[in-house]
Structure 1
Amino acid sequence: MVEHGKLPGEYNIVVKGEYDLFDHQVPVEEFEEMLRENDVPDELCVVGLDDVFEDDDAVTELSALMDRCGNALENRHPLPTIQFAIDGSFQRRQRDFELQTGGDLHRLSRIFGPQIDRRSSGWLTAPF
């Protein structure tokens, strides 16, 4: 049985405080470097995603990097388990989800693509 918020082989986007987070936590910039070097550990929690949305170029760069590295992550054995721990909440908007931080709303599909699934109120997943 998979622990909630820790599904291997997909990005787990979780609200901080609702699920247990991995001890190995890194900021988005360090995660990007791990992707570039093909050196992502088996279990990882990425923090600071809400800050990325402050810069459109950073959103575009992160999304492109995650897309380019998706096949490498999918073909690893064992499949890595990657959490993105966010401050805020999720809002459903038509076929998309938005991250609400303070009074701001940010479309998660800009980074994770359109295939985001709700697993529970504080947990979304997206394929590598």
Structure 2
Amino acid sequence: MAGPGQIPGRYNLIIADEYEAFDHQIPVEEFLQRLKDDNVPDEVSVVGLADAFRDGDLALNLAQEMDRQANDLEYQSPTVQFVVDGSFHRSGKTYDLRDGEELHSLQEVFGPQLERKEDGNWLLAPF
């Protein structure tokens, strides 16, 4: 059975050190390349999401590739965690990632279907 923050077939967004992350951790850039190559591991933790937002183009490219690969990921049903530093902040009907003094709209990458689980340190988004 899947543990908290480890639901297969969905993007799991977790706060670092709040839930168990997978040993296999890769930066956003590598995850983006693995999406393009159709080579996403069965269990993976992706780190550096705040850096991708600061880059701007990286966050946009990630969102586009995640959208393009959604059907394949649904079929393959890997367990993908995005492990973030900071906290989640509710913004209307969606959520932001609070990174220091900055807020980054998670909807830009994951779409509007973010769902909060448990105490708020874990969000789910469909592929």
TM-score, scaled relative to structure 1 = 0.96
**Partner residue in 2 for 1:101:** 99
The reply to whether residue 81 of structure 1 matches residue 79 of structure 2 is: yes
Q: Structure 2 counterpart of 1:90, which letter? A: F
Report the aligned-residue RMSD. Answer: 0.8
Q: Hey, which bits of structure 1, 4+ residues long, moved more than 6 A?
A: none
**Partner residue in 2 for 1:92:** 90
**Partner residue in 1 for 2:62:** 62
Q: Give the 3-state SS of the residue equivalent to 1:118 in structure 2.
A: strand
Q: 2:111 aligns with which of 98, 113, 117?
A: 113
Q: Structure 2 counterpart of 1:116, which letter? A: L
**Partner residue in 2 for 1:21:** 21
Q: Give the 3-state SS of the residue equivalent to 1:99 in structure 2.
A: strand
Which whole-Å CA distance do the structure 2 matches of 1:13 and 1:19 have between them?
A: 10
6-15 or 56-65: bigger deviation? 56-65
Q: Give the 3-state SS of the residue equivalent to 2:112 in structure 1.
A: coil
User: How many residues of Structure 1 are paired with residues of Structure 2 in the alignment?
Assistant: 126
